Amino acid sequence: MSAAETGVGIEPVTDDPDTGGFFAAAREGRLVAQECVGCGNLQQPPRHRCVACLSTDLAWHDLPPRGTVHTWTVVEHQINPNFPAPYTVLLVDVEDAASNVPLRFLGRIPGRVEPELGAAVELVFETVGDAVLPNWRLA
Amino acid sequence: MADDVSYDWAPDACAIAGIGTTEYTKASGVSVTALAAEASLAAIRDAGLEPGDIDGFVRSDYDETSPAALADSLGITDVGYWGQTGAGGAAPCAMVGQAVAAVRSGLAKNVVVYRALNGRSGRRLGKGVAATGAVGGNSTYLELFSPWGMTSPGQFFAMITRRHMQQFGLTERTLAEIAMVCRRRANANPAALMHDRTMSLDDYFAARMISSPLRLFDFCLENDGAAAVVVTSTPRARDLAQKPVLIRSVAQSTGTTRIGPGQMYPVLMSDSLTELPSRRIAERLYQRAGLTAADVDVAQLYDCFTITLFLQLADYGFCSQEDAAAFVESGALDLGGAIPVNTAGGQLSESYIHGMNHVIEGVRQIRGTSTGQVEGAEVSLVTSAPPPGSSALLLVAP
C-alpha cells in the first residue's frame, strides 16, 4: 500500500542517479554512505562525483547501525497532512573509521522525544509505500 | 585599493533612486504581476522617472511574474536587459548587485529590481513540500529529508536553534527579545501588518510551539505584497527627484565551507550547523566598502525566523558567537542600542516580501524617512537570507 493510500508518510524518489543507491541499500537492510573508489573519501549526502578528488568512480560503504543525536525538533504544528503532529525529527551523527567527520542522517520518531544532544540511537528500518527508510530509535 | 575580495569594485558608482511598495495584506485580490507593477510604478515615480525611462529589470527566481509581463503591464517596450538571481530570500541584495553590474557594464541605464508575491492568498512558502506522490530527485535532495518529516523551513531552523543553544547558550528568552524588538518597530509603522498588535514577553511565551524550540512569533509573517527599487548610476541619480542613496558595496558568498547540494536542507549534513556563509559575505562587503561593523548605524537583518537574525549578529561583526545572546538581551537591537535592527518591523512584524522590504527600509534610513529612524544614520546594512549562499548590501548617504 502506498503512503498516499495509508495517509501517513511521504515516499521518496528512490531511483535518482545520485541518491538511488542509498535507498537500494536500505531495501537490503544496510545503512550506507557514498565512498570514492579513487581516494577513499566518504561523503553524505551522495553526489555525482567525489567532492574531494572529483572522481566519478563511486561505491557504497556500509556504516555501523548506531549513532548519536546531533540535534532535534518536535514538530507540534502539523504542516504536512501525511505527518500527524507531534513527532520528533532527529539529526543523527554516525561515526565510521573511514571518515574523519561524522556522516549525518535524518530520523523520525512519533510523539515528543526530547533526547540530550549526544544521546545514543540505534538503526531500524521502516517501510513507506514501496520504499525502505533507515530510521532511528533511542538506544 | 583592490585586494583579493574587492576585485575592482567601484564604491558609490550606483545609487538607489526610487523605492515603492504595495499595501501589505493577507489577500491582495490581484495577480502577482499586478502587485509587481504597482510597486514598480511607485518606485519609478518616486525617482521622478516615467516607465519609458526603465530599460532593465531584475527578478527573484521565486517570483511568479516575469520581466516581460511586468514591462508589458507598464507599457514599457524595448527592454534591453533582464536578469534574475536566487534562491528566494537569499536574492534581494544580490538582485541589487545584479542591477549595479548591468548599469556599470553599460547594459542598462535605469533598472527596476522587484519582488512580488501572494505569499498568503497564493503560494505559501511555509507549507513546504506537497503531500502527494514520491518526493525529491532531480538534484533537489528532498528525498533525503521529506520522508522523515522534515518538510518545512521552520523545522530546518529549529534544528539549527537547538544546536546553537547547546553550543553557545542561546535561550528562548533571547529569541523573544528579537521578536519583541521587531514588533515594537512595527507598532510605530502604519504600513506594518502588526502595527496594531503589541507583544509582551508573556504573549511570546503564550503563543503555541510550532517546531520546538521555535514558537509562533519566531516565525515570519505570510502575506501578499510587493516591493521595488530603481537602480541607476550615481551621476544620473543626482539629477532625479530624491536624494540618492549610494550603493557603497554589495557582496555574495556561498561561504568558505562546502555549500552542499540541493537548495537548503542538505546544509543539515554539513560539518557545522552554526557557521553560515554570512561571515564571509560580511568580510567581502566591508572590504569593498572600506568600512567595518563599527561604522554601521542601522541594520535590516533577514528574519525569516528570529534565529536567522540572531545567527547573523556575530557574522556581521556586532558581537561574538559566545556573547551574542547577552548582546541581544542587553537591548543592543533596540532604537538607541548598539545596532538597531529591522526598524520597520522586519519580516517578523512588518511584511514578508522575501527580504525586498529590507532593501526598502535600508534606503529609508539613509533618506531619514523611517518610522523607526536612527538619527543621523549614514551607513545602512541590509542582508538577505542565509543559508546556503546569500548576499548583503551597504547603503550610504551621498
Q: Hey, what's the cell of A89?
A: 525529527
pLDDT grade for A2, boundaries at 50, 70 and 90: very low
Chain B residue closest to A118 (CA)? Answer: B166
- Report the alpha-carbon distance of residue A119 to residue A92 in Å, rounded: 9
Name residue, grid cell 566591508.
Answer: B286
The pLDDT value recorded for residue B263 is 80
B136·A45 Cβ contact <8 A: no
Q: Is B316 a catalytic residue?
A: no
Region of residue B134 (phi > 0: left; psi between -120 and 50: alpha; otherwise: beta) = beta
Q: Hey, what's the cell of A80?
A: 504536512
Q: How far is B54 from chain A (nearest CA, A)?
A: 42
Contacts of B9 (CB under 8 A, 6+ apart): B2, B249, B288
Is the confidence at residue B359, as pLDDT, over 50?
A: yes
Chain A residues near residue B261 by CB distance under 8 angstroms: 18, 45, 47
Which one is predicted more confidently, B327 or A4?
B327
Chain A residues near residue B133 by CB distance under 8 angstroms: 4, 11
- The candidate with the shortest Cα–Cα distance to B370, out of B189, B184, B183, B178, is B189
pTM for the model stands at 0.95
**Average pLDDT of the residues in A30-51:** 97
Q: How many CB pairs under 8 A join A and B?
A: 136
Task: Please state which of the ranges B133-137, B185-189, B201-205 shows the lowest mean pLDDT.
Answer: B133-137
Sign of the CA dihedral with B324 first, then B389, B225, and B210 last? negative
Q: Hey, what's the cell of B261?
A: 547540494
- Report the alpha-carbon distance of residue B164 to residue B279 in Å, rounded: 16
Confirm or reject contact between A119 and chain B (CB < 8 A): no
**Average pLDDT of the residues in B67-82:** 96
Contacts of B4 (CB under 8 A, 6+ apart): none
Q: Which of A8, A77, A88, A99 to mutate to test the interface with B (most CBs of B within 10 A)?
A: A77
Which one is predicted more confidently, B128 or A111?
A111
Confirm or reject contact between A22 and chain B (CB < 8 A): yes
Chain B residues near residue A131 by CB distance under 8 angstroms: 134, 147
Instruction: Return the SS3 of B197.
Output: coil
**Average pLDDT of the residues in B38-54:** 98
Chain A residues near residue B152 by CB distance under 8 angstroms: 79-80
pLDDT grade for B3, boundaries at 50, 70 and 90: low
Q: Hey, what's the cell of B173?
A: 528568552
Confirm or reject contact between A73 and chain B (CB < 8 A): yes
Q: Hey, what's the cell of B32?
A: 502577482
A44·B269 Cβ contact <8 A: yes
Q: Hey, what's the cell of B196?
A: 496594531
Which one is predicted more confidently, B167 or A29?
A29
Q: Which of B127, B135, B141, B148 to mutate to test the interface with A (most CBs of A within 10 A)?
A: B148
- Report the alpha-carbon distance of residue B301 to residue B374 in Å, rounded: 15
- The candidate with the shortest Cα–Cα distance to A121, out of A90, A99, A80, A96, is A90
Convert the pLDDT of each residue in A103-115 to its tens digit.
Answer: 999 999 999 999 9
Chain B residue closest to A52 (CA)? Answer: B258
Region of residue B193 (phi > 0: left; psi between -120 and 50: alpha; otherwise: beta) = alpha
Is the confidence at residue B146, as pLDDT, over 60?
A: yes
Provide the total of helices (H) and of strands (E) in chain A, helices listed first. 2, 8
Q: Please say whether the beta carbons of B375 and B223 come within 8 A.
A: no
pLDDT grade for B7, boundaries at 50, 70 and 90: confident
Q: Is B352 a catalytic residue?
A: yes
- The candidate with the shortest Cα–Cα distance to B308, out of B157, B127, B116, is B157
Q: How far is A68 from chain B (nearest CA, A)?
A: 13
Q: Please say whether the beta carbons of B65 and B96 come within 8 A.
A: no
ipTM of model: 0.96
B129-168 burial by CB neighbour count: b if 16+ within 10 A, else e? bebeebbbbeebbbbbbbbbbbbbbbbbbbbbbbbbbeeb
> Rg of chain B's alpha carbons, rounded to an integer?
20
The pLDDT value recorded for residue A80 is 84
Q: Which of B125, B129, B143, B209 to mutate to test the interface with A (most CBs of A within 10 A)?
A: B143
pLDDT grade for A7, boundaries at 50, 70 and 90: low
The pLDDT value recorded for residue B17 is 98
CATH number of B14-122+220-396: 3.40.47.10
**Average pLDDT of the residues in B257-264:** 81
- Report the alpha-carbon distance of residue B160 to residue A126 in Å, rounded: 26
pLDDT grade for B356, boundaries at 50, 70 and 90: very high
Q: Work out the number of other CB atoms within 10 angstroms of the CB of residue B198.
A: 12
Sequence letter at residue B5: V
Is the confidence at residue A119, as pLDDT, over 90?
A: yes
Convert the pLDDT of each residue in B370-391 to its tens digit.
Answer: 999 999 999 999 999 988 889 9
- Nearest CB neighbour to B269, from listed A73, A104, A128: A104
Of the residues B265, B286, B302, B316, only one is catalytic, namely B302
Query: B16 forms bridges with which residues in the sheet?
Result: B231, B245
Task: Please state which of the ranges A76-85, B78-87, B205-214, B286-295 shows the lowest mean pLDDT.
Answer: A76-85
Q: What percent of chain B has pLDDT over 90?
A: 87
Q: What percent of chain B has pLDDT over 70?
A: 98
Cα pseudo-dihedral B96, B260, B120, B361, rounded to 10: -30
The pLDDT value recorded for residue A4 is 46
A10·B151 Cβ contact <8 A: yes
| Alpha helices in chain B, H assignment, sequence order | 32-46, 67-73, 92-104, 153-168, 172-187, 201-206, 234-238, 278-289, 306-315, 324-329, 346-349, 356-367
The pLDDT value recorded for residue A3 is 52
Q: Hey, what's the cell of B35?
A: 502587485
**Average pLDDT of the residues in B135-151:** 95
Mean pLDDT of chain B: 95
Half-sphere exposure of A39 (CA within 13 A, CB side): 12
Confirm or reject contact between A107 and chain B (CB < 8 A): yes
Is the confidence at residue B131, as pLDDT, over 80?
A: no
The pLDDT value recorded for residue B124 is 85
Is the confidence at residue A1, as pLDDT, over 50?
A: no
**Average pLDDT of the residues in B168-193:** 97
Chain B residues near residue A51 by CB distance under 8 angstroms: 258
Confirm or reject contact between A82 and chain B (CB < 8 A): yes
The pLDDT value recorded for residue B386 is 82
DSSP helix, strand, coil percent of chain B (3-state; round to 5) = 35, 20, 45
